[in-house]
């Protein structure tokens, strides 16, 4: 087997990707069975976009933190609940406006630490916590967060708008380190001033306002490859990821095999035209983020990985849904 074969096998068995295989059936059931569930820019997006009577769109997102992190590192769990939701809002081009949380625990020290993490997150990302629910006598331990944001209707970014011949660009903060509590995480937030973090995140507001992108997602626990797969499948497209380019641009201390699977704390994957790349690059660097072209979009509905002159198909959407439902609201 070649190195590329080993990487394909690694990705197919990566929990960050494989645990999402159930999502298409769950989302489709919600769309078909819930009241007005099949609405544009809703299920399937990182942030639901709720239209209003004005040009403002209300963004709504929610994320939960796995129990292992809550039990082992409760303060980090609270902080990451805020971070995960904030990233979804910015990925849609929006500005976060409020945060709500549900806490469940039995150990009061764990509950207090999760609360401390939530408060730290609210200050770091400058978002007020406006609502919560607490169960201090639970048999399970978790933290679930939900955030709202706003964006102008004409500036809304979607995960499902990638077009053939677009390029895929990874934006991330090169100043960081492997996560202390999650080894497949790239941490560019710890010990960083709040103003610097918000400035980096605001890159998405500028890119949205200047209409330089066709699609956008934050790099989730599915990693760079998993995030790209979700974007391209939701867009009804395919594409090729250039692992050689990802290898060149990765942090030197992180092996490629890890970097492909990493959650990137201030990382976004965007699709854009080749003509817009120079503007995008300038804006990204002005916000202290490194841009790198990591792939290209096509109409094949297949995801291919290319490395060292070899190419492999890793997912084929023509055989059925993989990670996302069909997007009927292009």
CATH code for position 132? 3.30.1330.10
**Cβ atoms within 10 A of the Cβ of 326, count?**
16
| Residue 200 banded pLDDT, cuts 50, 70, 90 | very high
The answer to whether residue 224 sits within a structural domain is yes
Question: In whole angstroms, what is the distance from residue 11 CA to residue 20 CA?
Answer: 13
What is the edge-to-edge ordering of all strands in the sheet holding 185-187? 177-178, 185-187, 263-264
Do residues 9 and 62 both lie within one domain? no
Do residues 244 and 213 both lie within one domain? yes
Do residues 100 and 63 both lie within one domain? yes
Is pLDDT at 9 greater than 80 in this prediction?
A: yes
Question: Mean of the pLDDT values across residues 247-270?
Answer: 97
DSSP letter assigned to residue 287: T
Do residues 214 and 144 both lie within one domain? no
Do residues 174 and 278 both lie within one domain? yes
Q: Which pLDDT tens digit goes with each residue over 284-317?
A: 999 999 999 999 999 999 999 999 999 999 999 9
Q: What is the pLDDT of residue 44?
A: 80
Question: Mean of the pLDDT values across residues 108-131?
Answer: 97
Do residues 197 and 120 both lie within one domain? no
Answer whether 0.85 is exceeded by the pTM: yes
Is pLDDT at 329 greater than 60 in this prediction?
A: no
Do residues 140 and 164 both lie within one domain? no
CB within 8 A of 22, min separation 6: which ones? none
Asked whether 296 and 286 are in contact (CB, 8 A), the reply is no
Q: What is the pLDDT of residue 46?
A: 87
Do residues 131 and 193 both lie within one domain? no
- Give the residue numbers spanning the domain of 282: 3-22+158-319
Burial of 226 by CB count in 10 Å (0-12 exposed, 13-18 middle, 19+ buried)?
buried
Domain stop point among 126, 154, 182: 154
Mean pLDDT of the chain: 95
What is the count of structural domains for the chain? 2
Question: Between β-strands 95-104 and 142-152, what pairing exists: parallel, antiparallel or unpaired?
Answer: antiparallel
Q: What is the pLDDT of residue 328?
A: 62
Is pLDDT at 83 greater than 60 in this prediction?
A: yes
**Cβ atoms within 10 A of the Cβ of 35, count?**
4
Is pLDDT at 244 greater than 60 in this prediction?
A: yes
Q: DSSP per residue over 32-51, as a string? A: HHSTT---TT-BTBSSEEEE
The answer to whether residue 12 sits within a structural domain is yes
The answer to whether residue 143 sits within a structural domain is yes
């Amino acid at each position: 087997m070649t190195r590329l074969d080993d990487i394909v096998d690694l990705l197919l068995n990566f929990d960050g990707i494989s645990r999402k295989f159930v999502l298409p059936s769950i989302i489709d059931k919600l769309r078909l069975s819930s009241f007005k569930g099949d609405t544009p820019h809703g299920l399937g997006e990182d942030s639901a976009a709720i239209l209003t009577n004005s040009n403002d769109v209300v963004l709504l997102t929610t994320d939960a933190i796995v129990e292992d992190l809550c039990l082992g590192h409760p303060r980090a769990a609270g902080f990451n609940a805020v971070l995960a939701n904030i990233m979804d809002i910015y990925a849609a081009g929006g500005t976060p406006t409020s945060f709500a949380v549900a806490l469940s625990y039995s150990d009061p020290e764990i509950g207090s630490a999760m609360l401390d993490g939530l408060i730290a997150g609210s200050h770091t990302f400058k978002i007020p916590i406006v609502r919560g629910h607490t169960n201090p006598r639970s048999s399970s331990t978790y933290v679930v967060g939900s955030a709202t944001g706003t964006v102008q209707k004409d500036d809304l970014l979607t995960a499902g708008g990638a077009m053939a011949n677009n390029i895929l660009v990874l934006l991330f903060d090169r100043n960081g380190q492997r996560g202390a509590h999650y080894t497949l995480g790239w941490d560019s937030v710890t010990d960083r001033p709040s103003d610097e973090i918000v400035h980096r995140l605001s890159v998405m507001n500028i890119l949205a306002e200047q209409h330089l992108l066709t699609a956008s997602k934050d790099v989730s626990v599915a990693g760079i490859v998993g995030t790209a797969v979700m974007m391209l499948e939701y867009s009804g497209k395919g594409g090729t990821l250039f692992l050689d380019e990802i290898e060149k641009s990765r942090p030197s201390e992180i092996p490629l095999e890890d970097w492909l699977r990493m959650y990137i704390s201030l990382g976004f994957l965007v699709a854009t035209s080749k003509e817009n790349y120079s503007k995008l690059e300038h804006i990204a660097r002005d916000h202290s983020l490194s841009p790198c072209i990591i792939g290209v979009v096509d109409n094949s509905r297949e995801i291919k990985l290319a490395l060292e002159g070899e190419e492999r198909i890793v997912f084929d959407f023509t055989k059925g849904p993989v990670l996302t439902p069909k997007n009927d609201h292009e």
